[in-house]
Structure formats: C-alpha cells, structure tokens
Amino acid sequence: MTQRVLVLLGTKKGVFILESDVSRRDWDLRGPFCETWPIQHAVGDPRNGTIYAGGGSEWFGPAVWKSTDLGETWTHAREGLVNEAGAVPIKTVWSLAVRDETLYVGVEPAGLFRSDDQGATFTHVEGLQKHPSRPEWNPGGAGLILHSIVPARDDPEQLWIGISAAGVFHTADGGRTWEPRNRGTRADFMPEGQKYPEFGQCVHSLVMAANSGRLYQQNHCGMYRSDDGGRGWASIESGLPSSFGFPAAAHPHDANTLYLMPLNGDTKGRFMPEAKAAVWKTTDGGETWRDLRQGLPQTSAYFGVLRQAMATDTLARAGVYFGTTSGSVYASADEGDTWTCIAQDLPMISSVETLVVESGGAGE
Amino acid sequence: MTSGPSTIDVRLPPLLLHMFPTAPSRLSLEASDVASMIDALDQRWPGMADCIRDSRPAIRRHINVFVDGQRAKLETPLRSGTDVFILTAISGG
C-alpha cells in the first residue's frame, strides 16, 4: 500500500500543505487555503484523512474549516461556536484535537467546544468557564488562549488542556468539572513565596508521550514531565540552553523521546540561542539532552518557533518537522539527525501537524 | 419607530461572497431594522449572520453597515427603498 505524508501548516495567511512519499525527500507545496484566513491550527483525522483548520478572521470572526479531499476543497462552519450574549465574543479558534468521533476546539478567550458531527456544529463545554478560578485567569502575550488539548487515549471522559496563562487543567467527567494540575511548575513572574501557585502558570504547550499516559510540558518557566497525569511535574530543563521555548513534540513510538526548541530567553528577542538553530532531543525522558543541528542554519537564525509549530509523523522511523516565524519549514526523516529546509518564504507559521494517508485518501 | 418589514436593497462585500458563493452581490430583502436584515440573510445563507454580527450582540468590529449613507447599528430602522451597504473595514496585517 502506498502511503503519502502530509505536513499541514497553519499560517498567518491560510493553510498550506506539503506532501511527499514515505521517503520524505521531495515535497510539493499546495495552498494557501481557507481564503487566506489567519489559521492557528490545522490537524488531520488519521482515521479518514479529514483535515480541520481553526482560525479567525478580523472581519468575520472564528470558524473551523474542513476538507475531506486532502485540501482540494474546503467548507467552513461555526454554528454553536459562540459565547453567551453579553460575554466577550470569541476572537479566534486556537487549537483542535480529534479523538474518535469528537473534534475538540479551543478558543480565545479561553474556552472549550466540542463537535460530535465532524465539525458541522459545536457545543460549548461550559464546565470550564464555571471553574472557580476563571475570574483570575490572566492572558499571556498571545492573549487568554486555550492552546493545548490532550485527550486521554483510553478514556473518552478524560482530557487535559493548557491555557496561557492559567495553566494545565484536567477533567475526568467529560468537561463538567475541572481540576488545576500545575504542582511543581514555576511561575517566575510571581512574587517570592508565590512562585508555585495552584493555577496561573504560563504553560506554552502540552503533549502526551507515546504508548503511555506520560505528559510533557514546555512552560514559559521551564520544561517538565509528569508520570501521574499532571498531578505532579518534575523539571527536565537541566542540560538545555534555556528554560524558555514554545513547542514540544513527542516521539510517535517511544515515550522517552521528546523534541524541544529552546529559545534564547523571554526578554532577549525570543529567537534561536546565539542565532544558531537547534532542536534538542532527549531519549531518556528528559534526563539528558542532545542538540541536533545538521542541516539547520548556524548563522543569523533570528527566528522563533511557535507553540504549535513542531510535530512528528507516525512512520516507523519518525519524521520531525518545525515551522518558523519567518516562514520556513524544516524536516528530518531520520528522527532529527539531519534536517532539510522543505519550504521557505511562507507567511508566519503558527502550526505544524502531520497526516499519513493511503493513496486513496484514508489516514493511517 | 419601526412599523413592520420594509423592502430594502442590500449590497454584500466581495469577501463575504467568497465565504458564501451562492449569495449575490446585491439583493432585495424584507426587514424592519439591521438586526432583522441580518437574520434574513442568515435564513438564506446559514452562518452569514455570525460573519456580520458577534455574540454580544453587535456588528463585528471590522464590519461596517451603512444605511442611506450613515454608519448603522443593529437597532437602526430600515424604511422601504433604503440602500444598505455591508462593507469590510480596513483590517489585516
């Protein structure tokens, strides 16, 4: 069976799609799609190859776009994707996650919606808005955004979300009630004695490791691992060039392998340390780190990589991909050992996700 | 102030037509105010109302509705023969 690898790019000017065969050497670029809307996140449903893209137009507000033919044609929907009258309107869709028949949608200002009809209509998961901490949530630099959605693999009622800057929250009852899960993560921007609050941390991205319930987190203030569903977090930042970055990408098959892209700090321009690009990889759950640079620019790398802009694919020898704020996409077909620039001069890249499909279009 | 639906002449902006390809750039509608005009548009092209009006509810920040040459609000009344222009404001980046 012939497989194709798609790299889905959410950009400031629409969705672009890069496509290759399993060798992942030569890539074709298509786009822009979605009427060049700012798209924060584009994801694929691996079961059927459907692509969803979430964003918001300055003119027309938020919507979820959908393609069932790998990007050839698109529809848009937003029925139910609204806050109650009088509340601050939804500005944009920030994050998407597919779990079986459910599409989860995270929005700004922070809220969670779900669609149980393949993105045609949406229902507000209101329990999150009713959490007692809600009045105290403060926006991060990108706004009060729900940017990470991590469904449990074996329990449809369980979900973790990341909100900047409210922290990680978990539900065990399908979203009716939520519990902050931030113990052990720092908030360096708080006064002495208050740096480990129950909530209010500036989580930047949250991912689940392969074949386990382990969670990894890139925070404004450090990198962390949790082996108990987020009840407690352990720092894994030792050995990295800084404690600051945005994306995290879990290996598709090995729970101990994680990729990060630390930046030079939150007050120094937020670009590659010393303007030399590197992906950092651990194969032991964050105990040790190795920098991967072969093929990446080692001079004048004054770009950043945003929180949803790094991903792995699902092939046996995993591919790793990231997109930059300067519109380049780098890919590795050998788990990060070597890298190639597979697209450049695109709009600012907000998100990178992958989709492996059979020739007929169904996902892997 | 309004006594019932009036027949009005509505122009839609090109960007909105991209979102709703079956909608014409100009059409006649029955509506008594801007809010009911938006509802009438949504009846014909579901989803169009949310593109023009947010959930507060109010006309979206970067959408302008002009009634007889004046910038309008949702409650602005419409008389028969009124010209309504829905326009996208300068925006983007």
Q: Which one of A59, A84, A129 would you mutate to disrupt binding with B, by most B Cβ within 10 Å of its Cβ?
A: A59
CA distance A242 to A260: 11
| CB A127 within 8 Å of CB A177 | yes
Residue A255 lies in a domain: yes
Measured between CB atoms, which of B46, B57, B62 is closest to A59?
A: B62
CA distances from A73 to A31, A76, A100, A162, A249 (A): 11, 10, 23, 31, 29
Confidence of residue A234 (pLDDT cuts 50, 70, 90): very high
Residue A364 lies in a domain: no
Question: Quick one: which of A237, A244, A221 has its CA closest to A286?
Answer: A237
Which pLDDT does position A85 carry in this prediction?
93
What the block records as the tokens of A244 is 């600051």
Note whether A73 contacts B: Cβ–Cβ < 8 A. no
pLDDT at residue A313 is higher than 50: yes
| pLDDT tens track for A283-310 | 999 999 999 999 999 999 999 999 999 9
| pLDDT tens track for A180-214 | 999 999 999 999 999 999 999 999 999 999 999 99
Note whether A75 contacts B: Cβ–Cβ < 8 A. no
Give the distance from CA A269 to its chain's centroid.
21
Residue A345 lies in a domain: yes
Bridge-partner residues for B70, per DSSP?
Answer: B67
Based on the number of CB atoms within 10 Å of its own CB, is A339 exposed (0-12), middle (13-18) or buried (19 or more)? buried
Distance to chain A for B63, nearest Cα, Å? 6
Residue A205 lies in a domain: yes
| CB A247 within 8 Å of CB A268 | no
Edge-to-edge strand list for the sheet holding A92-99 = A92-99, A102-108, A111-115, A123-124
Instruction: Say which amino acid occupies A153.
Output: R
Which pLDDT does position B2 carry in this prediction?
46
Q: Which one of A37, A58, A84 would you mutate to disrupt binding with B, by most B Cβ within 10 Å of its Cβ?
A: A58
pLDDT at residue B1 is higher than 60: no
Which pLDDT does position B93 carry in this prediction?
67
What the block records as the tokens of A274 is 């010393």
Residue A363 lies in a domain: no
Residue A330 lies in a domain: yes
Q: Where are the alpha helices (DSSP H) in chain B?
A: 14-19, 34-44, 48-52
Distance to chain A for B51, nearest Cα, Å? 4
Q: Residue with structure tokens 């939804």?
A: A90
CA distances from A103 to A91, A156, A182, B63 (A): 19, 12, 25, 29
Distance to chain B for A328, nearest Cα, Å? 19
CA distance A323 to A319: 14
Three-class DSSP category at B93: coil
| Total domains in the fold of chain A | 1
Question: Quick one: which of A59, A57, A27, A61 has its CA closest to A39?
Answer: A57
Instruction: Say which amino acid occupies A173.
Output: D
Chain A residue with CA closest to B86: the answer is A59
Note whether A348 contacts B: Cβ–Cβ < 8 A. no
Alpha-carbon torsion, ordered A304, A307, A309, A313, to 10 deg: 140
Residue A213 lies in a domain: yes
Question: Quick one: which of A253, A245, A244, A224 has its CA closest to A335?
Answer: A253
pTM assigned to the model: 0.95
Distance to chain A for B88, nearest Cα, Å? 6
CATH architecture assigned to B6-88: Roll (3.10)
The interface pTM score, or ipTM, of the predicted complex is 0.91
CA distance A125 to A159: 12
Measured between CB atoms, which of A58, A84, A86 is closest to B92?
A: A58
CA distances from A177 to A157, A173, A316, B56 (A): 11, 7, 38, 26
| pLDDT tens track for A267-281 | 999 999 999 999 999
pLDDT at residue B74 is higher than 50: yes
Structural domain span for residue A152: 3-358
Mean pLDDT confidence for A49-68: 97
| pLDDT tens track for A108-121 | 999 999 999 999 99
In this structure, what CATH number is given to the domain that contains residue A143? 2.130.10.10
Instruction: Say which amino acid occupies A353.
Output: E
B60 and A77 within 8 Å at the Cβ level: the answer is no
Q: What angle do CA A55, A206, A42 make, to 5 degrees?
A: 25
Q: Where in chain B are the domains?
A: 6-88
Note whether A193 contacts B: Cβ–Cβ < 8 A. no
pLDDT at residue A364 is higher than 80: no
